[in-house]
Amino acid sequence: MSLRLPPAARRLVTVAGAAALVTGLGVVAATQASAAAGCRVSYSANSWSTGFTGNVSVTNLGDPITGGWRLEWDFAGNQRVTQGWSATVTQSGTHVTATGPSWASSLATGASATFGFNADYSGTNTAPASFSLNGTVCTGSAGPGTPSPSNPTPSNPGPSNPTTPPPAGSKVDNPYAGVQGYRNPEWQAKANAEPGGSRVSNNPTAVWLDRIAAIEGTEDSSSNGSMGVRDHLDRALTQGAGYIQFVIYNLPGRDCAALASNGELGPNDLPRYKSEYIDPIAAIQADPKYASLRIINIIEIDSLPNLVTNTSGQAGGTAMCDTMKANGGYVQGVGYALNKLGALGNTYNYVDAAHHGWIGWDSNFLPTANILLQAAQASGSVNNVHGFIVNTANYSALREPYVQPTTTVNGVSVRQSKWVDWNQYTDELTFAQAFRNQLVSVGFNSGIGMLIDTSRNGWGGSARPTGPSTATDVDTFVNQSRIDRRIHAGNWCNQSGAGLGERPQANPASGIDAYVWVKPPGESDGSSTLIPNDEGKGFDRMCDPTYTGNARNGNNPSGALPNAPISGAWFSAQFQQLMANAYPPLS
């Protein structure tokens, strides 16, 4: 990992915006002058007082476009584009041109291209009256010899050609509510083998699918083998579980800002990600045998926020993050996963949204929401996203009762302390609730719910403060008062002093679908030293207890436990520490 409402109440949040459907956009391939034309465009604007986010999707109803696509329109007012994504968006006067990115420059028959932009305006934000694609104005129908708009023949089903969504009302508002979660027997066995482990082993935890081999598993479930996706689903049926959680975690160029959790796929392996990883998972989850289960997919930990905070120009930015931003692998990969998995009637996609110690600053908050929206739009519809998860596999405290951004010490805001460092948030609950509102404001459905991973953020034990400090120096006050006992909020690997947090539960707070244990307690974040392996797991110095840090953690010690195995392997010393420091305490 890198530095990184009860249901009725959720629906009270609304988003301002206008939507328009423009049909019959003419299509001509730049390299095919006689190609038959036809397409449709959907355009929506989520507006606020001085700006808006525009969302555009164009579907090709004519012959395939292979020479690059170019969508153009004119604004009726003083709208001015300031930023675009999934297309190059430029403006001259009132005229706007959007051209396809290099990784998605073609449009097959029946395929769609989705992109977005931010813009400023004043007065009335009127939708464009018409669009043109590759120089041809909207006609409203497909040309001679092309498939009927109601029956296209796409050549590449996927995010740009989404599967028909399930019937309305077939999914519940909160998949965690009113049912028991799946207890992974492999994790249970390891927990029960630890002294005192039976106190926590009945809690539901997620199953991590962190490489292609994890889909099938091995033929046995011995200590040297592993269960596959079908094995877990079958066992969930046997248990009578109502929901089961899978972590979808194998993007090309995975976790571009860290080494401990790098994956098996290279930066250009998006086709393999789709065909060898996502497609088989979706096929298994689609089996009618599992229709009674609520299958919850946690989508790609740490991926999209890296494109905001860990690219060139950011402290500690990496070349790999630059590559994944430029080639669209993360956005298109997440979009594909959302499309394929979201199309099933009993699946629920929750996209990873980092944590407050990563994107809680104003400079990261809205841009992260926008790139999450970009990936959702790449899936064909924001409806493929049921919600978001924060603090996955991390340690940020659920609540900081004595250190809030509004707290002052001798007239000095705690935001000026070295620990808070001008962040707008100090804990995960307030961050998750605020970020949910931001996500809705940029275009996500008002019914989305948030998850918070509380598997390792309890910070109990003797070091836990029982009240605010009496110190008059702001840094001293914060360090003596904060629940989170890490050396720096950017430290993420096998943290010393951590404890189990709140047990998994549904509807614990406004806007929160559930507290969950997505990172199974006792599974390592990464090895303390280099350990050769065949799982694609690298060595990251942030897992080395002797490491003195880097720009992303303010050049502070890593705070990692010693003698840790590779990420995902069982780490007995960590599990014992988590139980000892649990908050609420274990009985």
What is the chain's length? Answer: 587
Nearest to 243 by CA among 282, 288, 292: 292
Residues 6+ apart with CB under 8 A from 159: 332, 335, 336, 338, 339, 378, 379, 380
Compute CA 550 distance to the chain's CA centroid, rounded to the nearest angstrom: 25
332's enclosing H/E stretch is helix 329-342
Nearest to 345 by CA among 141, 185, 163: 163
Nearest to 337 by CA among 301, 372, 379: 379
Contact 34, 148 (CB under 8 A): no
Nearest to 239 by CA among 171, 176, 290, 297: 290
DSSP 273: I
d(CA 165, CA 490): 39
- The values of phi and psi at residue 534, to 5°, are -105, 20
Give me the catalytic one of 302, 427, 484, 540.
302
Q: Pairing between strand 347-352 and 294-299? A: parallel
3-state SS assignment for residue 366: helix
d(CA 171, CA 347): 8
Per residue, the 3-state secondary structure of 49-93, as one string, reads CCEEEEEEEEEECCCCECCCCEEEEECCCCCEEEEEECCEEEEEC
d(CA 182, CA 162): 29
Locate tokens 């889909």: which residue? 215
Locate tokens 């996209």: which residue? 351
Token pair belonging to 23? 């049909």
Give me the catalytic one of 231, 269, 525, 540.
525
Token pair belonging to 585? 């305490």
Contact 58, 25 (CB under 8 A): yes
Contact 394, 457 (CB under 8 A): yes
Contact 238, 182 (CB under 8 A): no
Is position 302 annotated as part of the catalytic site?
yes
Please give the positions annotated as active site: 302, 525
